[in-house]
Amino acid sequence: MTSYRHKVMQQVIDMNPAEPEFHQAVREVLDSLKPVIEKHEKEYRSSQLLERLVEPERSVSFRVPWTDDRGRVHIQRGFRVQFNSALGPYKGGLRFHPTVNRSCMNFLAFEQTFKNALTGLSMGGGKGGSNFDPHGKSDREVMAFCQSFMTELYKYIGPNEDVPAGDIGVGGREIGYLYGQYKRLTNQFEGTLTGKGLGWGGSLVRTEATGYGVCYLAQEMLKTHGMGLSGMKVVISGSGNVAIYAAQKAIQLGATVVAMSDSNGYIYDPSGIDVDMIKQIKEVERARLAVYPKRVPGSTYMDGRKSFEVPCDIAFPCAIQNELEINDAIDLVQNGCKAVVEGANMPTTREATDYLLKEGILFLPGKASNAGGVAVSGLEMSQNSMRIKHSFEHVDNQLQGIMSGIWTQISDAVDEYDLGSNYVDGANIAAFRRVVKAMREQGYV
Ligand code: NDP
Ligand code: 2IT
């Protein structure tokens, strides 16, 4: 007889053909859940629990027309996937990137449900975005796109309904334009987006939260294995929001960050990358990383290559899904890497993940290690509801507490199911337990 897991997996494939990223994310979770599902198979089958878990509660897609600076009209596709609200209002970012499609949205919204569960806060899982590419666009073009996107999206979101935030291609500038249009359409000043400006409802530490959280969880794992970030050589991929603040915190904790990248290539700086210079190039000038060596002597730029080829103790993939492939994993192992901590969502292919685990590399999956971002979004939502503003130290302490709580949940799950150091399975099981308890208590919905 086909196992229940395989039956559900096949159903996901049949109902969502040509969605490889979504299949990959679901398959990983179902594989991790094997011992839990086997224990409760009869009950899960009779309540169609897994079938409900893999089917988004609601999913919208819509046309987004906008006009560029030369008056040409463009049409993009917008999405919002409201995957699971068992634990709270849908919560998750918006991604503006040319690769955005239904598969990408479904995988991210599915992952978000489990990530948000791990934070311990009251947030369901959702994700949205568009295949709009902000690179090289003027501020006016980005504003025009954001206003058009929100003119449709606002119908589906609200402070107790669905609270979007940033992701790839959506940072403070985009959240500002999106919020302005939301306010104009609804006449409400409320916490319907997170990652807002600090002067109008944003939370301190939200900008830094994902990258800082990556380092906080890395520290917890390393401590368990008698290590720490201090003195470690770190390689990062990406040079966006997550990468920058992971680098900043790793350096504060005593590590040396020797490489960072963007989609064109990577920079290598053996004496340690100057994060303020990266911030200037990427956040202020919105320029390419290739200019870095022109400004920082002793560094080099490698065009068309990936930073994972640089020898390191720890790698933080912080760019995009499936960027760390099997050949990169082989490079990392050969070069003596001890740990891979995912800052991005599913940046490691399944083949590479399995290889790293087999080789005994400590590995933290993104849904645990990058949960700090959405966690502080959750704290932004509570500050908005209470109309108060916490200090940087207060929020940072809460973030550290949440990341350490995630470590405890993962550790408890690997102990209970005798999983050794398989923190992928540990995180999936811990998250699943929280979501499923709420789903069972809320009936067949
Ligand atoms: P940003 O848009 O700020 O930065 C993305 C970075 O990734 C850029 O440096 C970009 O380079 C690089 N990149 C994109 N595509 C590729 C590629 N194919 N190969 C190599 N590099 C690439 O996004 P974020 O930092 O916010 O997000 C990064 C990852 O972290 C995503 O997976 C996101 O889902 C995840 N994440 C983000 C959170 C947040 O709070 N922002 C929270 C949790 C997870 P280029 O400029 O050349 O495109
Ligand atoms: O992937 C993610 O967790 C995010 N992009 C952040 C989501 C959020 O709501 O802050």
Ligand approaching nearest to the C-alpha of 173: 1
Residue of 377, 395, 399 to test ligand 2 pocket, by largest number of atoms within 8 Å of CB? 377
- Residues 78-118: pLDDT tens digits? 999 999 999 999 999 999 999 999 999 999 999 999 999 99
Query: Are 203 and 379 a contacting pair, CB within 8 Å?
Result: yes
Nearest CA among 126, 121, 162, 115 for reference residue 432: 115
Q: 400 C-alpha vs ligand 1 centroid, how far in Å?
A: 23
| Whether the CB of 202 sits within 6 Å of ligand 1 | no
233 Cα distance to chain centroid: 23
- Give the right CATH number for 209-369 from 3.40.50.11740, 3.40.50.720, 3.40.630.20, 3.40.190.10: 3.40.50.720
Query: Are 8 and 30 a contacting pair, CB within 8 Å?
Result: yes
- Residues 294-320: pLDDT tens digits? 999 999 999 999 999 999 999 999 999
pLDDT at site 53? 98
257 Cα distance to chain centroid: 21
Cα dihedral 334, 335, 340, 342, rounded to 10, equals -100
Query: Are 201 and 281 a contacting pair, CB within 8 Å?
Result: no
Pairing mode of beta strands 256-261, 58-67: unpaired
Q: 404 C-alpha vs ligand 1 centroid, how far in Å?
A: 24
Nearest-CA residue for atom 2 of ligand 1: 168
Q: Where are the domains of the chain?
A: 4-53, 58-189, 209-369
Q: pLDDT under 50 in the chain at which residues?
A: none
- Residues 3-40: pLDDT tens digits? 999 999 999 999 999 999 999 999 999 999 999 999 99
pLDDT at site 1? 55
| Whether the CB of 307 sits within 6 Å of ligand 1 | no
Nearest-CA residue for atom 36 of ligand 1: 344
Q: 279 C-alpha vs ligand 1 centroid, how far in Å?
A: 14
Name the fold adopted by 58-189.
Rossmann fold (3.40.50)
pTM of the model: 0.98
Residue carrying structure tokens 């990058």:
370
Distance, in Å, from the CA atom of 188 to the CA atom of 185, rounded to the nearest integer, reads 8
Do 58-189 and 209-369 share a fold? yes
Nearest-CA residue for atom 43 of ligand 1: 370
Q: Which residues have a catalytic role annotated?
A: 127
Q: 93 C-alpha vs ligand 2 centroid, how far in Å?
A: 4
Ligand approaching nearest to the C-alpha of 240: 1
- Residues 194-213: pLDDT tens digits? 999 999 999 999 999 999 99
Ligand approaching nearest to the C-alpha of 376: 2
| Whether the CB of 368 sits within 6 Å of ligand 1 | no
